[in-house]
Amino acid sequence: MSEHVWPPGAATAVGSMPGADPAEAAAVVFGELPDFPHLPELPARGVGADLIGRTAAMLVDLAIEVVPSGYRVAARPGRDHRRAVDLLRWDLDAVTEAGAAPVIKTQLAGPWTLAAGIELPRGHRVLTDRGAVREFTESALEGLAAHVAELKARTGAEVVVQFDEPTLPDVLAGSLPTPSGYGTVPAVPEPEARELLSRVIERAGELTGQPVVVHCCAARPPVGLLQAAGAGALAIDATLLGGAPSALLDELGEAWDSGTVLFLGLVPALEPARLPALRELAQPALALADRLGFNRTTLADRAVPTPTCGFAGATADWVRRALKLTTDLGKAFVEPPEGW
């Protein structure tokens, strides 16, 4: 696998954008993130447009439908599944027309979040059936291969894959509720979680030739597990690291020292009451480098600034401003302003 394809000082975003117009979202992303744009997700469009629905649109020989409790396995593709497929196709059309870039990032649910977010016919999560977990994982990987190939053909860009695993901490902790609400799904042992993640990361890396990003926006992401699984980059909310336990800092230090890139969430996903200065936004990244004993110049090559999370709840005006600030942070990592 080659070194990462994005240039030093590049910035990107997590994935979701506000609104329902894919052409407008793509234009904003390519305009504000010219070095490292991403395929926008527009969950405000409803069924099929959120993280699970988007990923379900890539499944091969499996289908989903919507029931009152959420997404459920379907016997055959119906209206809900076809809608998810159409939404993804329209998003691909939008980025095809938006412009050119050397690299583009695409996002989908990681295997554990996907298995936790879809129900089996009887209402239990796919997560509760290890055979079904493997089946969904292989189906998603087969679909990802076709998706990456199409994205490359349409844009001419190198593709970076990001697996979103917001549910992974709950999967590991055994804190996801059962259908009755009176119990919880048993925790998945870390070795088992790591083995499956390693499989999908390895396969995605083979498809793209690029480091694979795993995003987990929890306050205490399982950094050691994700690094051991082979993640080439970890996307985390850096603003939540204040007061982080020494064990988490040690894991971050080991990951960074090994060459893992940190996608550091620094710019608020929602507009704050007061617009912070660029130095203030950079402070969590600077403090992390200092606490881990790295020279701040490490940020230029082994860190990528991002918003703290997706923009699904943000205003269009804030998205533009936030992406501009994120891009400015990337430039500042390479050429720190005087006084930094």
Average pLDDT per block of 10 residues along the chain, 340 residues long: 81 97 97 97 96 97 95 96 97 94 97 98 95 98 98 96 98 94 94 98 97 95 97 98 93 96 98 95 97 95 96 96 98 92
The predicted pLDDT at position 2 comes to 44
CB under 8 Å to 42, separation ≥6 — which residues? Answer: 16, 17, 18, 19, 20, 21, 22, 25, 49, 87, 91
Torsion (CA) 16, 17, 22, 25 in degrees, nearest 10: -130
Q: Which tokens go with 285?
A: 């990244």
Which amino acid is it at 204?
Answer: A
Torsion (CA) 13, 106, 211, 110 in degrees, nearest 10: 100
Segment (H or E) for 264:
strand 261-267
The predicted pLDDT at position 1 comes to 42
Q: For the chain, list the domains and their CATH numbers.
A: 22-334 (3.20.20.210)
Q: Which tokens go with 268?
A: 């608020």
The predicted pLDDT at position 22 comes to 97
Contact 128, 73 (CB under 8 A): no
Segment (H or E) for 67:
strand 63-67
Q: Name which of 62, 73, 60 is nearest 118 in CA terms.
A: 73
325 — phi, psi (to 5°)? -65, -40
Contact 85, 57 (CB under 8 A): yes
| Interatomic CA distance for residues 293 and 295, integer angstroms | 7
Torsion (CA) 291, 296, 301, 305 in degrees, nearest 10: 70
pTM: 0.96
Cite the DSSP H helix spans in the chain: 22-32, 51-56, 79-98, 111-117, 130-155, 168-173, 190-208, 223-228, 246-257, 278-292, 298-302, 316-334
| Interatomic CA distance for residues 273 and 287, integer angstroms | 23
Torsion (CA) 186, 191, 196, 202 in degrees, nearest 10: 160
Torsion sign, CA atoms 306, 311, 314, 316: positive
Residue 310's Cβ-count burial label (10 Å; 0-12, 13-18, 19+) is buried
Within 10 A of 250 (CB to CB), how many other CB atoms are there?
13
Q: Which tokens go with 299?
A: 């940020």
How many angstroms separate the first and last alpha carbons of the chain?
34
